[in-house]
Structure 1
Amino acid sequence: MTTVEISTIPVAFDGESLTIDSVRQVAEEGAQAAVPDAAMAKARRSREIFEGIAEQNIPIYGVTTGYGEMIYMQVDKSKETELQTNLVRSHSAGVGPLFAEDEARAVVAARLNTLAKGYSAVRPEILERLALYLNLGITPAIPQIGSLGASGDLAPLSHVASTLIGEGYVLRDGKQVPTRKVLDELGIEPLKLKFKEGLALINGTSAMTGLGSLVVGRALTQARQAEIVTALLIETLRGSTSPFLAEGHDIARPHQGQIDTAANMRALMNGSNLTVEHADLRRELQADKDTDKDVQRSEIYLQKAYSLRAIPQIVGAVRDTLYHAVQKLEIELNSANDNPLFFEGQDEIFHGANFHGQPIAFAMDFVTIALTQLGVLAERQINRVLNRHLSYGLPEFLVAGDPGLHSGFAGAQYPATALVAENRTIGPASTQSVPSNGDNQDVVSMGLIAARNARRVLENNNRILAVEFLAAAQAVDISGRFEGLSPAAKATYDAVRALVPTLGVDRYMADDIELVAAALSRGEFLAALDRYTDVVLR
């Protein structure tokens, strides 16, 4: 158990209205979880319907039968607790590193909400216990490896369920300790699982959906911070504002992500004395022609490379991918995704496959692809500002002193390039189906692997972007253009310099990169705009 900082406004788990932002509030900020009375009443009614059906000796999967390939085996009703407990124990077989505390809390939050929808026939006591865990900071220790994404995230959710019955482990100060020890200290009696409750707890997509919610929420912050550093670079390199004109996006090519990124770029560079409008560049070009100057320089400034000009088209497409993922994740957060399900007024039991994670697996693979391209863009922008042939007059590798004697950012570029290559090796998980469970689970989604892949690229990108933020601030110092920067660019520069000083002579740089990467993971450069400017990003 770890003490969490408690938010004063509880998040309602009603099975209908949970958002990614709400999941993050509970998982990251320690917001309280509350199950509304209406959701409790619906769960109670669902349980009554289910028990009425069970008493009629109607065959029900996982209640009077074995599981998966063993569905043909009948189990006597008197074994209800034993059957559910054995399921949880046998599937608590995850391996590998544990999910971080905020990730595990997101998993619990996602599972609580899907059960609160009221079609899974669990007793209200199950909902109360999951909410209690979130509110007291009792966080299950969940291994990351073992889910096939169908029938849902069986292994990781079993490690959650095992803690409800007083078994397995929970996290305390980042380390796993026996659950029973913690429950005894808090005076909490373990639950005894009744008909279907073990199955309902583990048979669903809540691990991939909980983790995916954190990844996508953080990825939107990363995309905004990529826009922030890009705007700083464009100002420092005296770029044109023409590529961000509203008409070129809102009217000519109205992809929502593209519109939003272009609007952000305009907001970020508003008030800059360094950027130039297209008309200014045309006048400069004509003046060079009139005086027989070499016009090649002006032509370069007229249209800069794609890495500085196609920002709305590239980052906007990343945004659109993330918007799509938000939609899919929030549908899933508010879905009943176990099996079987029970509906009032419906005699037929729904024996289906809502536990299958294919929608989330596809969405998270798409996120991985989009974030990989975001890293590519950042690395190419780094290269442009470090390469003296491409940086519009800046010295090679942004060396502040004597080039050759000092290497500047030459070494810092290597990890950024290496991480781009590493991101490209992380292929799609959703196409990696491997049959299991006696070929009962013959097509599986690998959705949790997809979410973990996206998280890995997200973390790699923070380090790529860290190098870019450092290089952009160095470019400001070397160019001497700080006074001409926009308010947003000045706030960004100041935020970098509050962490890392200017690179004068060569120094050990690994710590600088990690320090800025950690700040990016916390969204500090976005927060700096909120604190010191009036700029509000979409």
Structure 2
Amino acid sequence: MSTHLSCVSAQIASVEAFSAGKIVAAIDGYSVDVPAVVAVSRRSHQPQVDSSDKNKKAISDAVAVVAKLAVGEQSQYGITTGFGGSATTRTTQTALLQKALLAHCQAGIVPAFHTGKILTPEEHDLLFPQDWIRGVMFVRLNSLIRAQSGTRWIVIEGLHKLLQHNVAPCVPLRQSISASGDLGPLAYISSVLTGNPDIYAWYGEGAERKVYDSATLLKKIGLQPIEFIAKEGLSLINGTGASTAVASLAMHDCHILAVASQVLSAFAVENLKGSQEPFNPYLHNVARPHPGQIEVAANIRHVLLPSRLARPHHVESDPEASLRQDRYCLRAVPQWLGPQLEDLLSAQQTIDVELNSTTDNPIVDIKEGYLHHGANFMAMAVTSATEKMRLALHHIAKLMFAQLTDLLNHSMNCGLPPNLAVGEPSVDYSLKGADVAAASYLSEIAYLANPVSTHVISAEMHNQSINSLALMSGRYTLEAVKLCRMLMATHIFSLCQAADLRTMEKIFRSLVFPILRAETKAHFPGVPEPVLNDEFFRLLTNRLILLLNASTDQDSGTRFERVTSDLRSTLLALFETAQVEVPLGAISAWRAVLSKKMLRAFIEMREGYVPGSPESAVTILGRTGALYAYVRGELGVKLHWGTPEKDRTAIGTEIGKIFHAWKTPKMAEVLVGILEKHEGGKL
């Protein structure tokens, strides 16, 4: 069975292949996938319509079936009858009926347009983003070309031409309940083909991209207005194209965030000096073999293997390992994230089917010469998928926040300063505000995680007494994606800050431990050499580690005086155990010299540290070092020093660099690369 990681890796590779022109997305009714939707929507990839003679004949045959049944004695929904709860009416004016359909579905609120109008941010908020529109047209075309809708080739060709010319109809963001498909959004898109002067669309490139009325637009791209015949208007708008396109974009984004959650969890294990023990294969492959749990454990185990921070196993004598097992936000990561991977893969299967389905009503059966009346427009499958995504995002975000709060709390982070302050704690509160911001993001994600489908309201003469709200659910899922990216950007910034602090800690200890040994021997020359042995200094050093870890909330000017004062009692106890008497004056002198030298070493270490250099955190991290190097290097995210002289940009500005990187291919490439196994030197 393929893993979540292999699914995401394949998707990213496909998006890049589409974008580079190595492969071309085909509108053939059967082969559209999520990467194709992403490439068409966000990378301006131009898909090709399968215009084979076989396809054209099938399209023509379906139109002929509709035309024949339109003049028969048996009424046909939306062809000779009214719509929805008004299907009790009958008419022979089939073309006029399609115009009436589009007219009553164009009921959403849009800006007050005129040709060339420059929209305000508030007006933009009333409309679909333009990249969504490209995806919607692409997905709808793939349904129409299946020759089960009864739409002429000229209509399919016209809609495809809009895509080719990068036309984006202006579609109201709010209106659809995704019951009889996404009627409103698709009605606005379809009406551009008719040249309706009150329906507008974006056209042009760069600074020349403007809003034009449909009549003017069609002239600009050399397309004649189309008058829809029997069923064509209904075929165009009665489907799940809008919901499915938006869900596809959300699906891709959620997959990448799920990969990121595993990388950041491994990064958190390192920075909190956690254990690798919870990721042992026996716990997952043998004892509780859920596929997602097995995958997460294996991925994190792989990432941590070369780490110099994460403990391979518990060692009772380790002074920093008094907590026998890590807290849940580290130890239970496989059990927490595993089900989210499984839910996302389930959602992926649903979207894959929906992308290559006929979702209008009635549906043409060419072989039988019949129209099947049903409800394939009901997008509950899409709603189910997006609600899985949104709930998974919440659980991912909750885990990230739990790790972040542990990281910032000096009583829980194994010796890091409060708020990850590099400067003096009395005047440097570093990531305290980021902690509050992260709580804000999580609260909103938690609100959005609630199901949309439980808020269905009966509509349209009680005909649409159940409706899926799939487009609404998709919109909220993409909003949750944005918030999750904000929270993760904050977490990444914090993890990199913590990694630099861990490196400083390592450098400082490498300076201080020899000083401790040298000054102890120098101040107590009368103590026999066998007493000042390795075990003596191991115990003294272990106590120093604990004192240093417990004093990170103190300014350095007084911190080391207090640390050495407390360490003095340990020294006396060790001498007492060894039955050695030493002058009290020598102990006081030892403490005073040690305090000064520790302070000097600390200041010199802090002032000399260069974040992102070859001697920085990359020397102690496992495979997460690639993320650290990307953040400090390519993104140029600065360490927050806690001093105005060094901090020339706001913390939010630096976190923002990471947030904006989510929209670049490189971020996903780095994250997936960290998890992927190397075989024969290749990914």
Whether the aligned pair in 1 keeps the contact of 2:363 and 2:371 (CA below 8 Å) is yes
Secondary structure (helix, strand or coil) at the match of 2:423 reads: coil
- Give the equivalent residue in structure 1 for 2:393: 371
Secondary structure (helix, strand or coil) at the match of 1:9 reads: coil
- Give the equivalent residue in structure 2 for 1:22: 36
- Give the equivalent residue in structure 2 for 1:204: 239
- Give the equivalent residue in structure 2 for 1:118: 147
- Give the equivalent residue in structure 2 for 1:213: 248
- Percent identical among aligned pairs is 29
Whether the aligned pair in 1 keeps the contact of 2:618 and 2:629 (CA below 8 Å) is no
C-alpha displacement at 1:26, in angstroms?
A: 1.5
Q: Does 1:130 align with 2:159?
A: yes
Q: Which letter maps to 1:474?
A: Q
Q: Does 1:146 align with 2:141?
A: no
- Give the equivalent residue in structure 2 for 1:491: 626
- Give the equivalent residue in structure 2 for 1:99: 128
Q: Which letter maps to 2:660?
A: A
Whether the aligned pair in 1 keeps the contact of 2:165 and 2:221 (CA below 8 Å) is no
- Give the equivalent residue in structure 1 for 2:416: 394
C-alpha displacement at 1:5, in angstroms?
A: 7.3
- Give the equivalent residue in structure 1 for 2:519: none
d(CA) in 1 for partners of 2:303 and 2:171? Answer: 41
Question: Among residues 474, 489, 492, which one is paired with 1:469 in the alignment?
Answer: 492
Render the CA deviation track for 1:35-68: whole Å, top value 9, x for unaligned. Answer: 2224433222222222222233431111111111
Gap change, CA 1:475 and 1:71, over 3 Å in 2: same
- Give the equivalent residue in structure 1 for 2:99: 85
- Give the equivalent residue in structure 1 for 2:67: 51
Secondary structure (helix, strand or coil) at the match of 1:349 reads: strand
- Give the equivalent residue in structure 1 for 2:321: 298
d(CA) in 2 for partners of 1:149 and 1:162? Answer: 19
C-alpha displacement at 1:225, in angstroms?
A: 1.5
Whether the aligned pair in 1 keeps the contact of 2:201 and 2:211 (CA below 8 Å) is yes
Q: Which letter maps to 2:459?
A: S
C-alpha displacement at 1:535, in angstroms?
A: 5.0
**Which range is displaced more, 362-371 or 376-385?**
362-371
Q: Does 1:417 align with 2:439?
A: yes
d(CA) in 2 for partners of 1:390 and 1:525? Answer: 30
Render the CA deviation track for 1:413-459: whole Å, top value 9, x for unaligned. Answer: 11110111112222211111111111111111111111111111111
Q: Which letter maps to 1:527?
A: E
Render the CA deviation track for 1:93-139: whole Å, top value 9, x for unaligned. Answer: 22362222221111111111111222111112222222222222112
- Give the equivalent residue in structure 2 for 1:291: none
- Give the equivalent residue in structure 1 for 2:381: 359
Q: Does 1:228 align with 2:263?
A: yes
TM alignment of 1:280-319, pairs within 5 A: 281=314, 284-285=315-316, 287=317, 297-300=320-323, 302-319=324-341
Report which of the two structures shows the higher radius of gyration computed on alpha carbons: 2
- Give the equivalent residue in structure 1 for 2:306: 271
**Which range is displaced more, 138-147 or 241-250?**
241-250
Render the CA deviation track for 1:9-48: whole Å, top value 9, x for unaligned. Answer: 3211221222111211211222221222244332222222
- Give the equivalent residue in structure 2 for 1:194: 229
Whether the aligned pair in 2 keeps the contact of 1:225 and 1:525 (CA below 8 Å) is no
d(CA) in 2 for partners of 1:21 and 1:416? Answer: 30
Whether the aligned pair in 2 keeps the contact of 1:222 and 1:520 (CA below 8 Å) is no
Whether the aligned pair in 2 keeps the contact of 1:149 and 1:448 (CA below 8 Å) is yes
Whether the aligned pair in 1 keeps the contact of 2:618 and 2:628 (CA below 8 Å) is no
d(CA) in 2 for partners of 1:233 and 1:523? Answer: 24
Render the CA deviation track for 1:251-300: whole Å, top value 9, x for unaligned. Answer: 3333332233223223322422222222xx2xx21x46xxxxx7xx4242
Q: Which letter maps to 1:497?
A: R
* TM, length-normalised to structure 1: 0.91
Whether the aligned pair in 1 keeps the contact of 2:276 and 2:312 (CA below 8 Å) is yes
C-alpha displacement at 1:347, in angstroms?
A: 4.9
Q: Does 1:526 align with 2:632?
A: no
Q: Which letter maps to 2:142?
A: N
Whether the aligned pair in 2 keeps the contact of 1:213 and 1:329 (CA below 8 Å) is yes
**Which range is displaced more, 95-104 or 321-330?**
95-104
Gap change, CA 1:5 and 1:241, over 3 Å in 2: closer
Whether the aligned pair in 2 keeps the contact of 1:10 and 1:34 (CA below 8 Å) is yes
Q: Which is bigger in relative contact order (C-alpha 8 A, separation at least 6)? A: 1
d(CA) in 2 for partners of 1:51 and 1:353? Answer: 22
CA RMSD in angstroms, aligned pairs only: 2.4
d(CA) in 2 for partners of 1:396 and 1:342? Answer: 67
C-alpha displacement at 1:6, in angstroms?
A: 7.5
Secondary structure (helix, strand or coil) at the match of 1:63 reads: coil
**Which range is displaced more, 457-466 or 512-521?**
512-521
**Which range is displaced more, 472-481 or 499-508?**
499-508
Secondary structure (helix, strand or coil) at the match of 1:143 reads: coil
TM alignment of 1:145-184, pairs within 5 A: 145-167=174-196, 168-172=199-203, 176-184=211-219
Whether the aligned pair in 1 keeps the contact of 2:79 and 2:231 (CA below 8 Å) is yes
Structure 2: 5+ residue stretches without partners:
1-17, 110-124, 507-616
Whether the aligned pair in 2 keeps the contact of 1:322 and 1:367 (CA below 8 Å) is yes
d(CA) in 1 for partners of 2:69 and 2:190? Answer: 25
d(CA) in 1 for partners of 2:287 and 2:426? Answer: 48
Whether the aligned pair in 2 keeps the contact of 1:386 and 1:397 (CA below 8 Å) is yes
**Which range is displaced more, 10-19 or 259-268?**
259-268
Q: Which letter maps to 1:84?
A: Q
Whether the aligned pair in 2 keeps the contact of 1:11 and 1:32 (CA below 8 Å) is yes
C-alpha displacement at 1:491, in angstroms?
A: 1.3
Gap change, CA 1:532 and 1:61, over 3 Å in 2: closer
- Give the equivalent residue in structure 1 for 2:641: 504
Gap change, CA 1:124 and 1:72, over 3 Å in 2: same
- Give the equivalent residue in structure 1 for 2:91: 75
Gap change, CA 1:140 and 1:535, over 3 Å in 2: farther
Whether the aligned pair in 1 keeps the contact of 2:259 and 2:672 (CA below 8 Å) is no
Whether the aligned pair in 2 keeps the contact of 1:30 and 1:135 (CA below 8 Å) is no
* TM, length-normalised to structure 2: 0.72
Gap change, CA 1:328 and 1:483, over 3 Å in 2: closer
d(CA) in 1 for partners of 2:48 and 2:56? Answer: 10
d(CA) in 1 for partners of 2:202 and 2:365? Answer: 36
Whether the aligned pair in 2 keeps the contact of 1:431 and 1:445 (CA below 8 Å) is no
Number of matched pairs:
520
d(CA) in 2 for partners of 1:529 and 1:208? Answer: 28
Q: Which letter maps to 1:417?
A: A
d(CA) in 1 for partners of 2:624 and 2:479? Answer: 29
TM alignment of 1:319-334, pairs within 5 A: 319-334=341-356
Gap change, CA 1:430 and 1:199, over 3 Å in 2: same
**Which range is displaced more, 455-464 or 34-43?**
34-43
C-alpha displacement at 1:182, in angstroms?
A: 2.5
d(CA) in 2 for partners of 1:526 and 1:224? Answer: 9
Gap change, CA 1:533 and 1:201, over 3 Å in 2: closer
